[in-house]
Chains A and B, each alone.
Chain A
Amino acid sequence: MKGKGNNTKSIQEIGWLKLDNAAKLFPAIMTGELTAVFRITASLKKPVRFSIIREAAEITSKRFPYFSVSLGSGLFWHYLEFNNKLPRIQTEDKTPCTAFAAHRRNEPLYRILVRQNRISVEFFHILTDGGGALEYLKSLLLTYFRLAGNEFTSTEGIMSPETAITEEEMEDGYKRFFRKETPPPGKLTKAWHLPYNLNEKPRLKVIRSEIDLCRILEVARNNNVTLTEYIVSVYLFTLQKIYLEEKAKVKKLKRGVLRIEVPVNMRKKLPSKTMRNFSLFVLPEIDLRLGEYSFEEILKIVNYQIQTGADLKQIGRFLSQNVGHEHSFLVRILPLFIKSMAISAVYRRLGTNQCSGIISNLGSIKLPDEISELIESFELVPTPPNTHVKISSAMVSFRDKLHLIFSNVSNSTNFEMHFFKFLTEKGIPVKIVNYK
């Protein structure tokens, strides 16, 4: 581990970074609606003091210099250029996750948003995933609370500004753990999509919910599944309900597979401390061409598929597939504009067809008690879904509450209604949260 000073200098010397494997997709597909931006919010127990948050952002951003970058276009690939710029601090807007002007020179690719008692960070996915962004937010909160006059005996689990920056934080985890000999996964059939029409632009609408964590955990444990598996099962069961309603109307539906994309934080599976993107995914599915499933059957299937799919050997096949393309000589020497067009076309043709829904689980946030007491809740707003999938969701648990959010670009809230109705019928209290 090198000292902070040395590494900061070396980052300035390097001047730029290659995009990690996951990030390579985003410059090619991002639009004003498909922004590839996600938000993590911390609601404090007291209103936020704007004067302090500015100073806290300045201190914290120096601890995470690899986020102070802007997007550059090379002849063959995009890259990240160090710019030493601080993130913009803005008032939280009604529409979350709006796009960054990523192609503008020296444009920061993350921002801090403040409103009432909420501090949010929005990151362009090109920089990092939910895991990396959460580490930044935790560090920002620690600095903010300290500047507000609090003193803490323990800062365990938080990358505080005085800790040393390691080179490992900047590494490309995908490249480090790529094994050439691992075979790629099998080809996937096309998944069914929700039949709703799209909203008028700006399309994104967000529904926030607060769920009793103890109760939902109890229900999940009674069914011998984890929280993620339980939520995924409810998601698939709701999709099945809408699919069957649609089938009764349309009779012939082209696709019969319902598949959910569940991102997996690879930092928990492999020994990497990278702060850049390092997630892969499992794809639990049910095939309705085989008949209708009861909820108990779906629970069993999802439990099996997530347990086997998240196995390191199995999930490594996706890593092999994704990084393998990037290693191809032909792909590497293609000029950027052709590569971008090809990536965009492949994403439109394949990427949007693979799944019917997305659920990201940031997990349970653990902070020292002294710090936890100052925070009411956390929530994660997922990146806006594409116009085929239409709805994406994200959840995070903190203390005794689970915050589940749906991002929806369609003009119907039918899916969310069925989803929450199912939970309340199972005796799990759900509160719909309204931001003022």
Chain B
Amino acid sequence: MSYCANCGVELDDGLNSCPLCSYNSANDQKSEATEQSELYPSDIILLYKKETRRHIWELSGIISFSGIAVCTIVDLVIKKSLTWSLYADTSIFASWIFLTLILLAFRKYFIIIPGFLFTVLSSLFLFNLFTPPINWFYGIGLPMTLALFACVIIMTILWKVAHFKGFNILAFSFIILSAFCMVSEAFIDKFLRNSVDLKWSAIVAISVLPVALVLLFVHYRMHRGKRLDSYFHV
């Protein structure tokens, strides 16, 4: 039977130091871990994970910038000017920004999602600059990227909100996919012909939406098997 000399509590068998104050009765002094810092094991694990992410980020930086340098030099040596390497360099740099956001803004989605959006739009803008004279960025690149991000965000919210995940998720993704197809066709039409005439996206919607409705019905009515009196009680 041992007692904590600091708190005065009796310690159960197998407890070498007090779980309340970390006082080590065996050594009659505060355990080393507490002497050195006030860190708890969870804090140490957190720090360790953060450090590992930082190391991966540094390594990815070295690999990415080496890749950019190699592409640029090879292009300059062979073609005597910057041609294909502009695309390769932009893509490698954008990928490194994605990785940076994931590693350094870990789980901070309010930073990661706008960061992703900005990086994709910047890359497309640069690609557009490299391919004159057609200016496709404002007509197609920008609206379609925004539509794609909106779809992904809506889908993520629905996934989070849905308590019971099954056919409903499949139905939601069908509906969102057909909406994205319609938006895409509208912007492509507007860009190419300066008028909107939905054809293939309408066929996609007509084929997919009834399937989505059946899936929703199966999920919320048949599969859950709700009783009407319990379902509608006020």
Contacts and interface: CB of A to CB of B under 8 A. Distances in A.
A432 B15 CA distance: 9
A103 B163 contact: yes
Q: Is the interface of A mostly helix, strand, loop or mixed?
A: mixed
A366 B163 CA distance: 41
Interface stretch (B96-104, B169-177, B226-234): B226-234
A345 B230 CA distance: 25
B10 A105 contact: no
Given A103-B163, A430-B8, A431-B12, A76 B42 contact: no
Interface stretch (B17-25, B55-63, B77-85, B141-149): B17-25
B20 A74 contact: no
Contact of A432 (B20, B164, B226, B233): B20
A411 B42 contact: yes
Given A105-B224, A431-B11, A207 B230 contact: no
Given A413-B20, A417-B7, A433 B226 contact: no
A18 interface: yes
A333 interface: yes
Interface residues of A, number: 36
Interface string A93-124: 00000000001110000000000000000000
Nearest to B13: A434
A420 B18 CA distance: 12
A333 B233 CA distance: 10
Interface string A126-149: 000000000000000000000000
A76 B232 contact: yes
B179 to A, nearest CB: 22
Among B42, B224, B230, the one with the most A-chain Cβ atoms within 10 Å of its Cβ is B230
A436 interface: yes
B234 A333 contact: yes
B169 to A, nearest CB: 14
Interface string A406-428: 00000111001100110011000
22 contacts: A15-B227, A16-B227, A73-B163, A74-B230, A74-B231, A76-B232, A79-B233, A104-B164, A105-B223, A200-B46, A207-B19, A333-B234, A411-B40, A413-B19, A416-B20, A417-B21, A420-B9, A421-B6, A424-B8, A430-B8, A431-B11, A431-B12
Of all A-B residue pairs in the complex, the 5 with the closest CB atoms, nearest first, are A424-B8, A103-B163, A200-B42, A434-B12, A417-B20
